[in-house]
Structure 1
Amino acid sequence: MAQGNEYLLDNRQAEAGTRFDALAALFDASTFRHFERVGIDEGWRCWEVGAGGPTVAAWLAERTGPRGRVLATDIDVSWAEAAAAGGVEVLRHDVARDAPPAGPFDLIHARLVLVHVTDRDAALRTLVQALRPGGWLLIEDADPALQPLICPDAYGPEQELANRLRGGFRQLLRQRGADLAYGRKLPRLLREAGLTDVEADAYFPIASPACDALEAATVHQVRDKLLAAGLATDDEIEQHLANVAAGRLDLATAPMISAWGRRPVEDGPGRA
């Protein structure tokens, strides 16, 4: 990635757990709806890529049952390890660099992963190759360029400050190789990767307590980087965090684009 290889929102930071909880509150219901749409069933073999927290992998394990297999991978598995008690296999793995784990898989899911990967095309090919013929790939990624404002209703100075700091955060993401328009490309990329039955939709929370919690944790995580890059002052960050804590901002997320498709059955022999 540009300017070093570090992921901007490091899982080793204490705020990571708060971010994972907020992301789960915001997006798990939408993710599970997509799982239901592809018809996940008992005995399926599933790979949760870039698992972060435990909630998605745990849901998959409950649905697939004792005859199924759920593998949760991440570059830092410390937050996902809680899912292991529910029968989830947890493995440290970098989808951008490592060979895929032993498969094939009936379902592969990645949420807010590929947008941050510099060689995301290679990572996507890896995921497609790890599917069984007829297996489903569900990729969910944000598209901050599609809706760049964290306060779409920017009616006052507090909202304008929030949007300015969000602009600085997006700049940090770009410097590390993130594609801020990646979400909208997913349907085309899945078709170009050879998948069929490709569909997509978007989910866009615009105000909730989880949005507030996510923003506060994110700003705490990137505070030093915003200051070092001259993208905000300490006073501005303190004022923004106070505004968030006071509940005076209707904070939105970037649109989450969910795209899914299946590997053609004629790709190769199905499983027995």
Structure 2
Amino acid sequence: MGQDDGYLLDNRQAEAGTRFDALAALFDASTFRHFERVGIDAGWRCWEVGAGGPSVVAWLRERVGPGGRVLATDIDVSWTGNDATEGVEVLRHDVGRDALPPGPFDLVHARLVLVHVAERDAALRTMVQALRPGGWLVVEDADPALQPLICPDEYGPEQELANRLRTGFRQLLRQRGADLAYGRRLPRLLREAGLADVEADAYFPITSPACDVLETATVQQMRDKLVAEGLATDEEIERHLANIAAGRLDLATSPMISAWGRRPTGDGSPPLL
């Protein structure tokens, strides 16, 4: 995602690229596993919603081959630079507000998008409407309320500080309209949207070097807002960053809940895969 009204982590900030790389290191393998689960193949037409970084788009382009199509959309497409990639169309698009892009699609995917979108119900409807009969929707969103601690093993003052700063971050997210319990609702929402064969699972690292990178970039990106809201001091933030750099913290992430479902064909015939 990018710079929406009140979106906390702006793609235009210097730390955004670092965050994208860390998120890719943490979650791409799980995302690609779900793509494999729905049977993505050569020739598919795919829509990557809220593309953010390039890693998922590149994987999709490789898998669908020259006969396929990948549409990558976001409200900020600065991550693309000026390089055109064969087989990939990049479009500035707000999934919660803008008209449906040309489709239909065999696969629509969004990761860490809807939890931040104020018009998330409209956005989900748009993605479902973009599917061809038999096409698959894969939605992945964090659920910070399900596991709110960045240090689940809170055994000392350094871990307590990390969790307190994470609480402040969640408060800022709520103020900007984020639904911190959205991930757990995804299976129900996909069924209510009319999708069939709905399944879901969850994944989150307990500790990883990429978690350290992600937390450092996130704190640096939001530090001015934390201080301005009285949620942390500059000294506390500097101390937390030093603790991360020293390798003294086991940093986790919120659970990433992945849910997937298929648009029915409507005539009882097998899915059009």
* Both proteins in one fold, TM over 0.5: yes
Query: What is the identity, as a one-letter code, of the residue corresponding to 1:87?
Result: G
Residue aligning to 1:110: 110
1:112 maps to a residue whose letter is L
What is the number of equivalent residue pairs in this alignment? Answer: 268
Q: 1:141 and 1:33, CA in 2 relative to 1: closer, same or farther beyond 3 A?
A: same
- Segments of structure 2 that go 5 or more residues without pairing to the other structure are none
Determine helix, strand or coil for the equivalent of 2:266.
helix
1:38-65 Cα distance to aligned partner (Å, 9 max, x none) = 0000000000000000000110000000
SS, match of residue 160 in structure 1: helix
Counterparts of residues 38-57 of structure 1 (less than 5 Å): 38-57=38-57
Change (3 A) 1:61 1:83: farther
- Change in 2 beyond 3 A, CA 1:44/1:170: same
Give, in whole Å, the separation in 1 of the partners of 2:165 and 2:267.
47
Residue of structure 2 equivalent to 1:255: 255
Q: Deviations over 1:214-260 (max 9, x none)?
A: 00000011011001100000100000000011111000000000000
1:228 corresponds to which letter in structure 2? A
SS at the partner of 2:115?
helix
Superposed CA deviations along residues 11-31 of structure 1, whole A, max 9, x for unmatched, are 000100000000000000000
SS of the equivalent of 1:99 reads coil
Matches of 2:191 and 2:21 in 1, distance apart?
A: 32
Matched residue SS, 1:85: coil
Deviation of 1:83 after TM superposition, in Å, equals 7.5
1:161 equivalent in alignment to 2:154: no
Whole-angstrom distance in 2 between the partners of 1:168 and 1:22: 21
Partner Cα separation in structure 2 for residue 190 and residue 210 of structure 1: 30
Contact 2:8 2:176 in 1 (8 A): yes
- 1:86 deviation in Å? 4.6
Structure 1 residues 125-144: aligned runs within 5 Å:
125-144=125-144
1 CA distance for matches of 2:11 and 2:267? 37
Kept after mapping to 2: 8 A contact 1:51/1:80: no
Distance 1:82 1:259, change over 3 A: farther
Q: How does 1:1-272 map to 2 (within 5 A)?
A: 5-81=5-81, 84-266=84-266
Q: Name the CA distance, whole Å, in 2 between partners of 1:83 and 1:253.
A: 32
Supply the distance in 2 between the matched residues of 1:95 and 1:71 (Cα, whole angstroms).
13
Question: Per the alignment, in what secondary structure is the counterpart of residue 199 of structure 2?
Answer: strand
Distance in 2 of aligned mates of 1:61 and 1:184: 30
SS in 1 for 2:145: coil
Question: How large is the Cα RMSD of the aligned pairs?
Answer: 1.7
Q: CA deviation at 1:6?
A: 2.3
Identity, % of aligned positions: 84
Looking at structure 1, the residues matched to 267 and 214 of structure 2 have their Cα atoms a distance apart, in angstroms, of 41
Tell me, what secondary structure is at the counterpart of 1:159? helix
Cα distance in structure 1, aligned partners of 2:68 and 2:81 = 18
Structure 1 residues 187 and 267, CA gap change in structure 2 (3 angstroms):
farther
Q: Give the 3-state SS of the residue equivalent to 1:151 in structure 2.
A: coil
TM-score by length of 2: 0.95
The alpha-carbon deviation at position 5 of structure 1 amounts to: 1.9
Separation in 1, partners of 2:238, 2:86 = 40
Q: How far off is 1:96 after superposition?
A: 1.2
Shift in Å, 1:84: 3.7
- Three-state SS of the structure 1 residue aligned to 2:260 is strand
Distance 1:102 1:238, change over 3 A: same
**One-letter code aligned to 2:76:** D
Partners of 1:227 and 1:233 within 8 A in 2: yes
2 CA distance for matches of 1:24 and 1:84? 21
Distance 1:268 1:13 in 2: 49
1:22–1:86 Cα change, 3 Å: farther
Q: Is the 8 A contact 2:68 2:87 kept in 1?
A: no
Q: How far off its partner does 1:82 sit? A: 7.4
